[in-house]
Amino acid sequence: MTDKKVMLITGAAQRIGAYLAQAAHADGYNIALHYRHSAQQTQEIKSRLNAIRDNSCISIQADFNQDGSIANIVEQVARTYNRLDVLVNNASEFFPTPLSNLSIADYDKLFNSNVKGPLFLSKACVPMLKSSKGTVINLVDIHADKPLKNHSVYSMAKAANKMMVQALAKELAPDIRVNGIAPGCIFWPENGATEKEKNIIIGRSLLHRIGGAKNIYQALKHFVANNFITGQIIKVDGGRSLHM
């Protein structure tokens, strides 16, 4: 077993996940990067981190829509490092689902990535997390409490993800702590946003700005460091949820 702590981050190829991986590595963690399609971006991060510290990062491809994918993730982490200290359930599908053209396939994609994947990966990681007295951190969403228009299924899935945090915190105590981070606007949507939409979002923030991935990592470090917190969700949204 490695003497370095190990963090597994799902959806680690881009955006928040990529930042968390690099920040945690800088803090001394060995990193397991999960990705679905973004092989090139993941390989670039892996190469960069291993150049800094040899054998400190692995990458694992898995699609939560396919059976057997979760077992493969856990097997590779166990085989390489034989320990796990922090599981970050970050991977998430996000796209609109207006009721008029909602499909079962859309429903399955959103629930598989936001609920099924995190739940069954958490289950599979229990033995290693129990051994390390580790922690699970889910990336939830402020829309778990207040739905986003035309994103009913995503909002429902994140509400289930929020309940997962609380339910697993009860079930896995006292050996494993489970908490969640609910970001507000950290990055603009990948498909872009109009200036009007950006101004509305910023205007609803009490701090009159969007956040950054650094703010998410600060919350993550808080949950890891404070071993008397479990079953809690921190909203990292600049106060925007007070205006929703």
- Active-site residues, by number, are 154
Which pair of tokens denotes residue 14?
């881009």
Q: How many whole angstroms separate alpha carbon 160 and alpha carbon 1? A: 34
Cα–Cα–Cα angle for 204, 209, 211, rounded to 5 degrees: 110
Which pair of tokens denotes residue 131?
């051994």
Query: 54: buried, middle or exposed (CB in 10 Å: 19+, 13-18, 0-12)?
Result: exposed
Q: How many whole angstroms separate alpha carbon 198 and alpha carbon 238? A: 14
